[in-house]
Amino acid sequence: MPLSPGQIRYLRGLAHSLKPVLLLGGKGVTAGMLNELEETLDDHELIKVRLSGADRGERAAVLARLIESSGAENVQTIGHIAVLYRRNPERPRIALPR
């Protein structure tokens, strides 16, 4: 279920103080990095990812691959930083407003 505009605003506020926990380097998207993304989303639900890439199109393609493989939602993208959210169905940590 997609996030509502109010939920996106709320998550952006929570993400403001976060530091990037995943740094995507020159190797791009690897199987190990996708496993790390899964574990991090399960633990934290809301994370920042630093994307490498020279141009906007390259970063957008990498972000699309991350979202597709993890099932996360893109909350916000500014420059090289993306904020991703995926609710943990077993142990939800963030209570979203309706």
Which pair of tokens denotes residue 91? 């142990």
pLDDT, one tens digit per residue, over 12-25 is: 999 999 999 999 87
Instruction: Match 């099932």 to its residue by tokens.
Output: 71
Place of tokens 């190797």: 27
Res 76: pLDDT:
96
The 8-class DSSP code of residue 96 comes to -
1 has a pLDDT exceeding 80: no
For residue 86, pLDDT beyond 80: yes
Instruction: Please tell me the total number of residues recorded for the chain in this structure.
Output: 98
**Contact between residue 23 and residue 50 where contact means Cβ atoms under 8 Å apart:** yes
pLDDT at 98: 85
pTM: 0.93
51-71 residue pLDDT tens = 987 788 889 999 999 999 999
Instruction: Determine the CATH number of domain 5-85.
Output: 3.30.110.60
Residue 42 has phi, psi (to 5 degrees) of -65, -40
